[in-house]
Structure 1
Amino acid sequence: MTNTLALRSVTISIGDKSLISGLDLVVEPGTVATIMGPSGSGKSTLISFIGGHLDPAFEATGAVLIGNRDVTGLRPERRGIGILFQDDLLFPHLSVGANLAFGLARSVVGSEVRRVRIAEALVEAGLPGFENRDPATLSGGQRARVALMRTLLASPTALLLDEPFSKLDSNLRRDFRRFVFDRAAAKQLPVLLVTHDPADATAAGGPLARL
């Protein structure tokens, strides 16, 4: 089943400073919408609000909907929203396979089924047989792909991208960006990207909102 990601009249402020005012946005399945703005404009704060982990210091109103389901009041783990950050956040004490296993949805039961899912994810990432590798031995691009596959193994219904391309060099950035967008499109996920790079927005090709 595919769903839209919709923001309805989202307003976020901290103290007497308004960051976002009355933002409405609909992201269709398989589409990448982009939020752009300078540092401090509220891009990452918006991601935190949608994901359900906004710092209590902020005041926020409005709604986040996945399809017809209002997830605004739900805990982060119940929203079904995947998030990819600037840093890959792989667990250094776990192997590549164990990192991927951490992301597997609870509905995936049985050790053999889980092993197969992990192996398939590594093949899709171009890293077959990397189950026992230490994440520290991977290149930046390899780590980024593992981080994405871990997020997708959780079977999210929407994907948030908080500048995940910003720390990669230009060639890796282009390749990983295409890898992310292609996987999201194949799974018909609505994707919301926050970035300060116009090239990211151009590559995304979807709706654009500026903060």
Structure 2
Amino acid sequence: MDAGLFIDGVTIALEEREIVSLTKRVAPGGVLTVMGPSGAGKSTLLAYIGGFLDPVFSARGRVFVDGTEVTALKPEDRHVGVLFQDPLLFPHMSVGGNLMFALPEAVRGRAARAERVAQALEGVGLAGLEARDPATLSGGQKARVALARVLASSPRALLLDEPFSKLDAELRAQTRELVFSKARENGLPVLLVTHDAADAEAASGDIVRIGE
């Protein structure tokens, strides 16, 4: 029962106006989609789970990942991976450098770390691109590198803040399938926020609507 993501009575308010109230469990490899219009509080929910909620909001409730209450931990200790609308790759680092930055400290030794980076890139269909400058990549390649970087950090859950919204239709469908298949492969519970019904349909999980 402890496996996966459990959102336990999380309530978020802005100036005493409640914008999010949620209790939900997401199984390993499963996806919970939170839908609603812009400004409804979707990204705010992710920020609370990730540990970077703006202090203008007040929040209460607990979030557990595999039985551990992550809301009691520092953000860096929560091991929750986040994909945003933009890939947010470090422009001063190579593709390989971006992934190397995300590797856990437990992966020690130059050879072992390089091997982990190579495996992560191969896993998203970008084998051999370690030396590439992120600026030379296509939009789809940047999205794949961002996913590889998150997975390389060994997360225990995955938060998706409309990461497909800036891709064209064909690329969007391909990237969605890659992200969800990698989550299933790694047994990661996923929380997706979106206003796009196609995203929710592709996720094939429970849907919660807020702000309507």
Alignment of 1:40-189 (within 5 A): 40-189=39-188
Rounded Cα–Cα distance in structure 2 between residues aligned with 1:94 and 1:65: 33
Moved more, 9-18 or 55-64: 9-18
Rounded Cα–Cα distance in structure 2 between residues aligned with 1:124 and 1:71: 28
Deviation string 1:32-84 (CA, Å, 9 cap, x unpaired) is 11000011110000000000110111000110011221111211101110000
* 1:123, distance to aligned residue in structure 2 (A): 1.4
* 1:129, distance to aligned residue in structure 2 (A): 1.2
TM-score normalized by structure 2?
0.96
Counterpart of 1:194 in structure 2 is 193
Rounded Cα–Cα distance in structure 2 between residues aligned with 1:83 and 1:121: 16
Q: Do the aligned residues in 2 keep the contact of 1:32 with 1:190 (CA within 8 Å)? A: yes
Moved more, 122-131 or 149-158: 122-131
For structure 2, the residue ranges without an aligned partner over 5 or more in a row are none
Secondary structure in structure 2 of the residue aligned to 1:72: helix
For structure 1, the residue ranges without an aligned partner over 5 or more in a row are none
Secondary structure in structure 2 of the residue aligned to 1:181: helix
Q: Amino acid of the residue matched to residue 55 of structure 1?
A: D
Rounded Cα–Cα distance in structure 2 between residues aligned with 1:84 and 1:141: 14
TM-score normalized by structure 1?
0.97
Q: Amino acid of the residue matched to residue 171 of structure 1?
A: E
Q: Amino acid of the residue matched to residue 11 of structure 1?
A: T
Q: Do the aligned residues in 2 keep the contact of 1:3 with 1:189 (CA within 8 Å)? A: no
Rounded Cα–Cα distance in structure 2 between residues aligned with 1:96 and 1:161: 21
* 1:194, distance to aligned residue in structure 2 (A): 0.3
Rounded Cα–Cα distance in structure 2 between residues aligned with 1:128 and 1:8: 40
Q: Do the aligned residues in 2 keep the contact of 1:3 with 1:157 (CA within 8 Å)? A: no
Rounded Cα–Cα distance in structure 1 between residues aligned with 2:9 and 2:69: 13
Q: Do the aligned residues in 2 keep the contact of 1:85 with 1:163 (CA within 8 Å)? A: yes
Secondary structure in structure 1 of the residue aligned to 2:199: helix
Alignment of 1:20-39 (within 5 A): 20-21=20-21, 23-39=22-38
Rounded Cα–Cα distance in structure 2 between residues aligned with 1:9 and 1:148: 29
Q: Do the aligned residues in 2 keep the contact of 1:30 with 1:186 (CA within 8 Å)? A: yes
Counterpart of 1:13 in structure 2 is 13
Rounded Cα–Cα distance in structure 2 between residues aligned with 1:78 and 1:121: 22
RMSD: 1.0
Aligned length: 209
2:204 counterpart of 1:205? yes
Rounded Cα–Cα distance in structure 2 between residues aligned with 1:112 and 1:36: 43
Secondary structure in structure 2 of the residue aligned to 1:11: strand
Following TM superposition, where does structure 1 have runs of at least 4 consecutive aligned residues deviating by more than 3 angstroms? none
Secondary structure in structure 1 of the residue aligned to 2:71: coil
Rounded Cα–Cα distance in structure 2 between residues aligned with 1:80 and 1:107: 13
